[in-house]
Structure 1
Amino acid sequence: MKSVDNSLQNTNGGFDSKIGFILASVGSAVGMGNIWMFPYRLGSYGGAAFLIPYFLFIVLFGIVGLSGEFGLGRLTGTGPIGSYDYAMKSRGKKGGKLLGAIPLLGSLGIAIGYAVIVGWVLRSVWGAVTGDLISIPSDEYFAGATGQFGSIPWHVIVVALTVIILIGGVLKGIEKVNKIMMPAFFILFIVIAVRVAFLDGAGEGYRYLLMPKWEYLLKPETWVMAMGQAFFSLSITGSGMIIYGSYLKKKENIVHSAGMTTLLDTCAALIAGFAIIPAVFAFQLDPTSGPPLMFITLPKVFAQMPMGRLFAALFFLSVLFAGITSLVNMFEVCSEAAQKELRMKRIPSILLVGAAVLLVGIFIEYEPFLGAWMDVITIYVVPFGAMLGAIMIYWVLGTKKIDAELNIGRKKPLGKFFDFCGKYVYILLAVVVFILGIAYHGIG
């Protein structure tokens, strides 16, 4: 390929290596949905049969959707506000900055609620270390964090940790931390999965996860839930992955990086399933309990396991790593927007985002308030922003321009099939995800 103008590279710098970029992207993608939602959906919607539609959707969304967001970011050298403005101006139109603010607000909204939840995780790590998580009934221990203003110290620590990481910058902060936390996440979960395999009764959990129930493939809901799980698992929001793309070197093959991110994200979900569900079955608890699975059901499992405190600490520490790396991405995209649009320096912009996340989050620590907040953000704002991002990349900017960016670093150019998938299949499914999310009151 011929040399490319690097003038649009993000002024915050960039990732030093391809593996650093991939691990940061995986860190953004891997979150609570991989850990508690994927395992019970896998078991509830057909076991191994569920993997057929899930793999189909995850490949499409990863290769086409994730590549598109990475490509738009690298092309423009900025986040969603600047990127959407660039796309609209390429058509001689205005209003791109206003449209780009929608997915940005989605990232900020998710960060506000997510910081509260990660605070619960940090409190659980401490509870495992002290033994309170094991000795106190788990529903009582969890209730202690979910009342009004019930998690302020842990909440503050989580926001402070995220801010400190980001102050280090892209290379010494985001990349360095993800190079430590994401390998640690996989290692810790593998250790837990191996230990769980030796529990009496774990075999029932494996059968629940892997025994194919082919009749579920005839149920539309199976395909809907597989699509939603795949879409949101990759953190395709029209925002966060665009900013990481803006930090990627021009020589890198974006499509390959998107494929590796997709693969590792899927591995994380599967490993979480093999660590959690067999343990739940071994102690005859409910694997379909949803979010309480992590904070109420699993502590009951650890309380009955030999060396339960140790494995509880390892489990919640790995979840903490997943949560912090996701928050880093959400904070970063908002901080970059403040730098560009409000003309702030990096550190003040990070502190502004941290303060906003904390000040709003403190008032929604009460679980019913948090649930209502997250429903609005995850059912309406984030899916709409993701749909808008898909349209902006493959229709407004157009396949010719995004292909030119995606072909950089590739030996074989993308073909017409990729363009068809991006322009018609991916965008159609992004619209369907948004509509069905409202109809089902959330599918991701």
Structure 2
Amino acid sequence: MENREKFSSRIGFLLISAGCAIGLGNVWRFPFITGQYGGAAFVLIYLFFLIILGLPILVMEYAVGRASQKSIARSFQVLEPKGTKWHWYSYVGMAGNYLLMMFYTTVAGWMISYFFKMLKGDFVGKNSAQVENTFGTMLSDPKAQIFWMLVVIALGFLVCSLGLQNGVEKITTVMMSCLFIVILVLIARSVTLDGASAGLKFYLIPDFAAVKKQGVMTVVSAAMGQAFFTLSLGIGAIAIFGSYIDKSQRLTGEAISVAILDTLVALMAGLVIFPACFAFGVNPGSGPNLVFITLPNVFNEMPGSRIWGAMFFLFMSFAALSTIIAVFQNILSFAQDLWGWSLKKAIVFNAVLIIVLSLPCALGFNVWSFIQPLGAGTTIQDLEDFIVSNNILPIGSLIYLLFCVTKYGWGWDNFMKEANEGKGIKFPKWPRIYITYILPLIVLFILVQGYIEKF
């Protein structure tokens, strides 16, 4: 077996895994659905599902990575019983990584572009309609879309080209540390605004009446979905980091640390957004609108708006880039694991491939906006996101899950042995029946629910 480069420190491993999980969903999806479904009450339900749904699958993905010492391209081959076909999923999993990057590179480009817009003071003195126009203008300009997408791809591969320890680990550790510092400064600013307390109350005091009003099942399935998607499980983006750690620590404790860091950032993003929105009487609206339209308007009201706005988009850029670097590292390891390519060759090949694959999303808002794959008003990005989020992630998680619990796969005993090697928190034996029979049904429910909501 070839000598696989390892992380130099545990903190590096934890921050990179968290960086992979901490993406834009934490920042724009979490606060919005929290607001929609009753604030703190929703957060409590979400945390419950994170523990019973996200954590076991996270441990399983790490275990498969660490036991096989390979990326998803080869991990199933190494561990599966002779004659079984688990490795067929590896092609879907690899495709999932490329598909995710087909739209994530463009969206990350928006963040970096807005960071510079804020620094230059592009929003100073603009009214809310003009702020909204800025976003529309950016989307409709194919040159700008492609330029920023290229910047993101270049940055991502540049970091990966320096190697695992010197590039990915060092730079992600610095980025994630800065991310936490920047968000703490933003929270301090946000909670000290006049009128911020109403936002804090809404966000931190559970209101179960709001849950009842929205319908308990609706809220539960939203919480389940968020707990599931927040960790980016199912495409081997997490498993790859399992393959870079030694066996000194049990995997359950590591998974808990990563889930805590991931949740912390999502909760902290809410502490920036809700007090500020309530202070200026702005509805914390959904999705990209929140980040590119609502928040620039909020920052405009604050003294020193350029600094606060630039800091916010710096934080967003770090969140996006940490995910991109993690997934690029995974993609590069495919070529290395499958064909034994050198890092340089893998980078040249994948950089060209990802640039080509990212074009449909970047052009889908302008030149190719006539392509509306999921019905009127939808974009190419919506389709790419739907294939990854509503299909590959739940199906992949189900595969990892079944692979670890059934005797036709790697099996429960092998999984437990790997998960519990080292020191730290043990993966318990008692939830075996739940994990084997009930958890797969919950994941199936999420898969079906995604289709019901979409169509």
TM-score range (shorter-chain normalised) is: over 0.9
Indicate conservation of the 8 Å contact 1:331/1:354, yes or no.
Answer: no
Contact 2:28 2:290 in 1 (8 A): yes
Is the 8 Å Cα contact of residues 38 and 206 (structure 2) preserved in structure 1?
yes
1:237 CA displacement: 2.2
Compute the displacement of 1:100 (Å): 1.0
Q: Would you say 1:141 and 2:134 are equivalent positions?
A: yes
Q: Is the 8 A contact 1:253 1:409 kept in 2?
A: yes
Partners of 1:107 and 1:347 in 2: CA distance: 20
Match of 1:4 in 2: none
Distance 2:197 2:113 in 1: 31
- Partner Cα separation in structure 2 for residue 134 and residue 66 of structure 1: 44
State the match for 1:44 in structure 2: 36
Deviations for 1:113-171, whole angstroms, at most 9, x for unmatched residues? Answer: 00000000000011011111445522222123212624122111110000011011111
Q: Does the aligned pair in 2 maintain the 1:28–1:327 contact within 8 Å?
A: yes
Go from structure 1 to structure 2 and tell me whether the alpha carbon gap of 1:16 and 1:419 turns closer, same or farther (over 3 Å shift): farther
| Aligned with residue 117 of structure 1, among 82, 91, 107 | 107
Question: Separation in 1 of the partners of 2:113 and 2:84?
Answer: 47
* Equivalent AA in structure 2 for residue 28 of structure 1: C
In the other structure, the counterpart of 1:391 is: 402
- Judge conservation of contact 1:106–1:385 (CA < 8 Å) in 2: no
Q: Would the aligned equivalents of 1:280 and 1:287 in 2 still touch at CA under 8 Å?
A: yes
Residues 336-391 of structure 1: CA deviation (Å, up to 9, x unaligned): 11112233211221232222222121232133222332223222233222222222
Q: What letter matches 1:157 in structure 2?
A: V
Determine if contact 1:53/1:223 at 8 Å carries over to the other structure. yes
Partner SS for 2:259: helix
Post-superposition offset of 1:231: 0.8
CA distance in 2, matches of 1:223, 1:348: 46
Unaligned runs of 5+ in 2: 366-378
- Shift in alpha-carbon separation, 1:434–1:87, aligned structure 2, 3 A: farther
Letter in 2 for 1:175: E
What's the CA shift string for 1:370-419, capped at 9, x where partnerless? 23322232222332222222222332211100111011113675442243
1:370 counterpart residue number: 381
In structure 2, the partner of 1:381 is 392
User: Tell me, what secondary structure is at the counterpart of 1:287?
Assistant: coil
Deviation (angstroms), 1:289 = 2.6
**Distance in 2 between residues matched to 1:192 and 1:413, nearest whole Å:** 37
Partner in structure 2 of residue 430 of structure 1: 443
Match of 1:184 among 178, 193, 202: 178
Residue pair 1:134, 1:299 contacting (<8 A) in 2 also: no
SS at match of 2:65: helix
CA–CA separation in structure 1 for the residues paired with 2:228 and 2:52 = 9
Alpha-carbon distance between aligned partners in 2 of 1:411 and 1:13, rounded to the nearest angstrom: 23
2:421 is paired with a residue whose SS is: coil
Which residue identity lines up with residue 270 of structure 2 in the other structure? Answer: G
Secondary structure of the structure 2 residue equivalent to 1:288 = coil
CA offset digits 1:11-38 (Å, max 9, x no partner): 4401111111000001000011110111
RMSD: 1.9
Shift of 1:51: 2.1
User: Shift of residue 268 of structure 1?
Assistant: 0.5
State whether structure 2 residue 216 is matched by structure 1 residue 219: yes
In structure 2, what is the Cα distance between the partners aligned to 1:244 and 1:399?
21
| Unmatched 5+ stretches in structure 1 | 1-6
1:106-255 matches, cutoff 5 A: 106-135=96-125, 137-147=130-140, 149=142, 150-215=144-209, 216=211, 219-255=216-252
Which range moves more in the overlay, 97-106 or 238-247?
A: 97-106
| Separation (CA, whole Å) in 2 of partners of 1:347 and 1:411 | 37
Q: Is this contact kept in 1: 2:234–2:394, CA < 8 A?
A: yes
**Total equivalences in the alignment:** 432
Instruction: Report the more deviating stretch, 110-119 or 406-415.
Output: 406-415
CA separation of 1:194/1:348 partners in 2, compared to 1, >3 Å: closer, same or farther? Answer: same
Q: What pairs with 1:46-65 in structure 2 (closer than 5 Å)?
A: 46-65=38-57
TM-score w.r.t. length of structure 1: 0.92
CA–CA separation in structure 2 for the residues paired with 1:376 and 1:135: 40
Match of 1:97 among 69, 87, 101: 87
Matching residue of 2:375:
none
Q: Is the 8 A contact 1:390 1:430 kept in 2?
A: no
Q: Secondary structure at the match of 2:414?
A: helix
* 1:234 and 1:265 in contact (8 A); partners too: yes
Query: Does structure 1 conserve the Cα–Cα contact (< 8 Å) formed by 2:190 and 2:272?
Result: yes
Structure 2 counterpart SS, 1:176: helix
Report how far residue 223 of structure 1 moved.
Answer: 0.6
Task: Give yes or no for contact 1:135–1:303 (8 Å, CA) kept in 2.
Answer: yes
